[in-house]
Amino acid sequence: MDYYGREMSSLIGELSKLPGIGPKTAQRLAFHIIRQDEEDVERLAHSITEAKKKIRYCNVCGTLTDTETCPICSSPRRNQAMIMVVETTQDLAAYEKTGRYNGVYHVLHGAISSSLGIGPGDIRLKELLVRLQGEVEEVIIATNSTLDGEATAMYISRLIKPTGIKVSRIANGVPVGGDLECVDEMTLVRALDGRTLL
| Pairing relationship of beta strands 103-107 and 196-197 according to DSSP bridges | unpaired
Work out how close the CB of 46 gets to Zn ion at its nearest, in angstroms, rounded to a whole number: 26
Q: How far apart are CA 92 and CA 180, in angstroms?
A: 9
Closest distance of CB 74 from Zn ion, Å: 8
CA–CA gap between residue 79 and residue 11 (Å, rounded): 47
Nearest to Zn ion of 12, 84 (CB atom)? 84
Contacts with Zn ion by CB under 5 A lie at 58, 60-61, 70, 73
Least Cβ distance, residue 190 to Zn ion (angstroms): 25
Question: Which CB atom, from 60 or from 82, has the smaller least distance to Zn ion?
Answer: 60
Q: Looking at beta carbons only, is 11 or 60 nearer to Zn ion?
A: 60
**89 or 152: whose CB is closer to Zn ion?**
89
CA dist 22 → 14, 93, 177 (Å): 11, 27, 24
**Measured distance CA(75)–CA(167) in Å, rounded:** 23
Least spacing, CB of residue 85 vs Zn ion, in Å: 13
